[in-house]
Structure 1
């Protein structure tokens, strides 16, 4: 599984997608048991234009998140492996499409984790821009408020996540490209690599002359650019890769 592509690597960028969190009990979106596979109508709830235009769509969005296991999820072996890699002294940056905050919960330094698609741990007002902890708004949803509004200006509230049709924060996108262009190794883990512009970070790394490794259950559009494509379970593959990069032997997989 692990080849010479780990040799001499001191700077690593790890692009993580929903597949990294499935072992924590959080379903992915496009897999056999994915959120959108089970209920295709929810795709509309994750589209900015529909979310802003339709109170019914917003109600579906809040209800889908009210029931999300992500609020109670704990980091798994993959999250912990990346935190351990950072502690080993390897320069590692995590570029995550996930909004669950589990990389930070596992011990990765918040400043080393770039949340490309935002975070579900905060709510943002689409009017005044005020950001508040999600618990406050989710408590209102639990109490029956299907379309919570900002208590200050009355505008629509949304989780601080990037929906389809929204642009990535320019500063975040620019930093992600610089990280991808400077890392000696880019590892894309648990991502379908179908959502742009984030997926194209793989091409940024390869075009800069660096190695790309993909760890994913299913084929991706970027497989042919990779020096290695690994289909093993993420919770087994990533700890082994991180241990090899750190120059240590992988420990037992913990829960």
Structure 2
């Protein structure tokens, strides 16, 4: 299977890489959705509830700071580094990711080549004026007051720069992801359950547009049956030899 995957990448003119939580679990970041994941232990807070309730906003920040104790210590693994090499070599044009952990950036992929469908959890934004807030600043506000953090400029609601349940998908990122998908001849889906829409629609779009669809994931996915190649294996160990990282 590894030889077939290498051949598919070697023969491709333009690769788009699509990543999900599975690539980051190999860096020690827990999966939110899988059995035993974080959302099986605590229900996610819907965006509308976050907006209406200061109590829930403060609870969301409590959870955020607790989860970040694991995320901030994570480093890119061999899977991230292999993808970075594909981008650096010019083989891959973009990385479309469902992940919010910033590990693709840390691995060396230029920010302009990364399309974050679900946002980024390493900073916060004001929902009213759009100002960026660094997490250490938000944590200081959180620790100093029993109220939920607010924007230092306009006193608006401050939220992690991620897409929550019930929140609209980012229009610009969705547009860029569609454009990249339609421009590739190989769509490489890595570490995603391919069950979360609209993100999971991009592999389908690529396949319908004539691209080769390859899925690399430890577990079966609903799209395995339409893929040209499916590899059920660990991500880093599979990609590292292909990118000649070993």
Q: Specify the SS of the correspondent of 2:26.
A: helix
How far apart, CA to CA, are the structure 2 residues paired with 1:65 and 1:184? 38
Question: Residue 18 of structure 2 corresponds to which residue in structure 1?
Answer: 15
Whether contact under 8 Å (1:27, 1:33) holds in the other structure is no
How does 1:91-170 map onto structure 2 within 5 Å?
91-143=92-144, 145=146, 147-170=148-171
Question: Residue 247 of structure 1 corresponds to which residue in structure 2?
Answer: none
Residue 146 of structure 1 deviates from its aligned partner by: 5.5
Question: Residue 51 of structure 1 corresponds to which residue in structure 2?
Answer: 50
How far apart, CA to CA, are the structure 1 residues paired with 2:218 and 2:171? 30
| CA 91–219 in structure 1, closer or farther in 2 if over 3 Å, else same | closer
Question: Residue 187 of structure 1 corresponds to which residue in structure 2?
Answer: 188
Q: Specify the SS of the correspondent of 2:8.
A: helix
Choose from 11, 34, 37 the match for 2:37. Answer: 34
| CA 7–152 in structure 1, closer or farther in 2 if over 3 Å, else same | closer
Question: Residue 205 of structure 1 corresponds to which residue in structure 2?
Answer: 206
Residue 145 of structure 1 deviates from its aligned partner by: 4.8
RMSD: 1.8
How far apart, CA to CA, are the structure 1 residues paired with 2:171 and 2:241? 34
Return 5+ residue gaps in structure 1 as ranges.
244-249
Whether contact under 8 Å (2:102, 2:122) holds in the other structure is yes
Q: Specify the SS of the correspondent of 2:11.
A: coil
Query: Which range moves more in the overlay, 232-241 or 197-206?
Result: 232-241
Q: Specify the SS of the correspondent of 2:93.
A: strand
TM-score normalised according to structure 1 size: 0.87
Count of residues in Structure 1 that have an aligned counterpart in Structure 2? 241
How far apart, CA to CA, are the structure 2 residues paired with 1:6 and 1:89? 12
How far apart, CA to CA, are the structure 2 residues paired with 1:75 and 1:207? 32
How far apart, CA to CA, are the structure 2 residues paired with 1:167 and 1:88? 34
How far apart, CA to CA, are the structure 2 residues paired with 1:92 and 1:190? 19
How far apart, CA to CA, are the structure 1 residues paired with 2:47 and 2:222? 25
Return 5+ residue gaps in structure 2 as ranges.
none
Offset from partner CA, 1:196-222 (integer Å, 9 cap, x none): 111100111001101111112222221
How far apart, CA to CA, are the structure 1 residues paired with 2:98 and 2:84? 17
How far apart, CA to CA, are the structure 2 residues paired with 1:36 and 1:227? 32
| CA 136–188 in structure 1, closer or farther in 2 if over 3 Å, else same | same
Residue 138 of structure 1 deviates from its aligned partner by: 2.5
How far apart, CA to CA, are the structure 1 residues paired with 2:17 and 2:125? 27
How far apart, CA to CA, are the structure 2 residues paired with 1:141 and 1:25? 27
Residue 235 of structure 1 deviates from its aligned partner by: 1.6
Q: Specify the SS of the correspondent of 1:121.
A: strand
Residue 7 of structure 1 deviates from its aligned partner by: 4.6
Whether contact under 8 Å (2:17, 2:92) holds in the other structure is no
Offset from partner CA, 1:161-190 (integer Å, 9 cap, x none): 111212222221111011111111111111
TM-score normalised according to structure 2 size: 0.90
